[in-house]
């Protein structure tokens, strides 16, 4: 195979983003051949925008039955991600799914298990922030032991501002039945992924999610979560869609140093003596280890990273390049968000990880059963500079 032929399933906001650069030929050794959406209006707009060069489908079954198509990019509402991924793999297609991998871990785990039965096919996830050199460097510093033993993590990510009109732009948005969650499932999967990718998975979570706060929606618009790690380290994750101007500050503190990522820069401090050793030997009362601020030669990549993930996906399939965002990793960040919901629903209890999947699903199904149908016409929004 010299060229990967790709279909996009779902041509809403994010689907059009992918269609834009693929149709412009910006991904090497790949060709967009088809677009699909079950919404007739969205499909009509796609035909008008991209022209007769492509095939257009009104259901994903026909996409998966087409022998010309080698791979699909899934850009549908969240619940459908693992279902379509599993069907596509069974149909012999490579899969690149938008985040999140799904709404609940049980469905994602089932899709991952199916993919394991087809090792000749690639199942990847659109964790585009993994392509940013700043986060890659932070991961390297932690893994190389440059900050010593993990002590604390803290991420304040509140620059996801979303207006009521955003939530009203689709009948599926911000409902338990249509979306399955709010800021944790729509905006924060990238940060939850990076949190565990860089710092490792916590052992337990306590969550405080606030549903419909400052917005007329069913799902959460604000969250504070507390995490504990197996070694005793702690973490805090704070997020909202109703605060402006927002903050994006990620701190990682260890026994030998500190990393801070903010304002598109990585700052690094390193102790000349590990705090554990210094504390054991120091007898002077007040005092602290000498710390050096070290300039790290890394530049924040202002691009979204979507194209880089797709290029990596194509290169992995065609040329054996290492896959940087396998879908099997998607279950980790989703486990954290599921645990935050479960903790909130059960009165702010500690939730051990991995979570009890059936216990979580029972709560989610109860919320879905009481979800209200929104009477609103779906709209494609201008997403420039939002990803």
- What integer pLDDT is reported at residue 383 of this predicted model? 56
In the chain, the N- to C-terminal Cα span, in Å, equals 32
Query: Same domain for 343 and 198?
Result: yes
Instruction: Tell me, yes or no, whether 376 lies in a domain.
Output: no
Q: Which two tokens stand for residue 78?
A: 């969240």
Q: Please list the pLDDT of the chain residue by residue as tens digits (387 residues).
A: 799 999 999 999 999 999 999 999 999 999 999 999 999 999 999 999 999 999 999 999 999 999 999 999 999 999 999 999 999 999 999 999 999 999 999 999 999 999 999 999 999 999 999 999 999 999 999 999 999 999 999 999 999 999 999 999 888 899 999 999 999 999 999 999 999 999 999 999 999 999 999 999 999 999 999 999 999 999 999 999 999 999 999 999 999 999 999 998 999 999 999 999 999 999 999 999 999 999 999 998 877 799 999 999 999 999 999 999 999 999 999 999 999 999 999 999 999 999 999 999 999 999 999 998 777 766 666 655 555
pTM: 0.94
Domain count, the chain: 2
Query: Same domain for 247 and 149?
Result: yes
CATH number at residue 91: 3.40.50.720
Q: Domain containing 246: what range?
A: 132-301+333-369
- What integer pLDDT is reported at residue 245 of this predicted model? 97
CATH number at residue 265: 3.30.360.10
Long-range contacts of residues 136-143, Cβ cutoff 8 Å, at least 24 apart: 136/298, 137/266, 137/296, 137/298, 138/198, 138/250, 138/252, 138/259, 138/261, 138/266, 139/197, 139/198, 141/257, 141/259, 141/268, 141/296, 142/198, 142/199, 142/252, 142/254, 142/259
Q: Could you give the CA distance from residue 387 to residue 384 in angstroms, rounded to a whole number?
A: 8
């Amino acid at each position: 195979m010299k060229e990967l032929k790709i279909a996009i399933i779902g041509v809403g906001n994010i689907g059009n983003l992918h269609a834009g650069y693929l149709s412009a030929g910006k991904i090497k050794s790949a060709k967009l051949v088809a677009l699909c959406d079950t919404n007739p209006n969205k499909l009509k707009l796609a035909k008008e925008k991209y022209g007769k060069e492509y095939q257009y489908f009104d259901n994903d079954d026909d996409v998966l039955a087409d022998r010309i198509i080698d791979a699909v990019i899934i850009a549908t509402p969240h619940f459908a991600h693992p279902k379509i991924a599993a069907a596509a793999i069974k149909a012999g297609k490579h899969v690149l799914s938008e985040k999140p991998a799904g709404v609940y871990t049980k469905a994602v785990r089932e899709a991952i298990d199916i993919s394991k039965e087809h090792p000749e096919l690639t199942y990847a996830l659109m964790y585009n922030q993994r392509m940013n050199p700043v986060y890659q460097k932070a991961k390297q510093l932690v893994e190389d032991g440059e900050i010593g033993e993990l002590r604390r993590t803290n991420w304040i990510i509140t620059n996801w501002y979303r207006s009521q009109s955003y939530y009203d732009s689709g009948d599926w948005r911000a409902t338990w039945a249509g979306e399955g969650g709010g800021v944790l499932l729509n905006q924060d999967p990238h940060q939850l992924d990076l949190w565990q990718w860089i710092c490792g998975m916590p052992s337990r979570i306590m969550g405080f999610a606030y549903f419909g706060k400052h917005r007329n929606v069913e799902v959460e618009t604000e969250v504070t979560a507390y995490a504990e790690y197996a070694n005793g380290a702690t973490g805090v994750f704070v997020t909202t869609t109703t605060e402006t101007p927002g903050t994006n500050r990620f701190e990682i503190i260890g026994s030998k140093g500190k990393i801070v990522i903010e304002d598109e820069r990585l700052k690094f401090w390193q102790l000349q003596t590990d705090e554990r050793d210094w504390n054991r030997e120091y007898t002077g009362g007040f005092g602290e280890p000498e710390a050096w601020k070290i300039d790290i030669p890394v530049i924040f990549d202002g691009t979204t990273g979507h194209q880089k993930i797709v290029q990596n996906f194509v290169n992995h399939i065609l040329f054996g390049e290492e896959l940087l965002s396998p879908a099997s990793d998607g279950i980790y960040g989703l486990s954290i968000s599921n645990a935050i919901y479960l903790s909130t629903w059960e009165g702010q209890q500690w939730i051990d990880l991995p979570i009890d999947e059936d216990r979580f699903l029972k709560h989610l199904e109860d919320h879905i059963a009481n979800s209200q149908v929104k009477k609103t016409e779906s709209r494609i929004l201008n997403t420039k500079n939002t990803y």
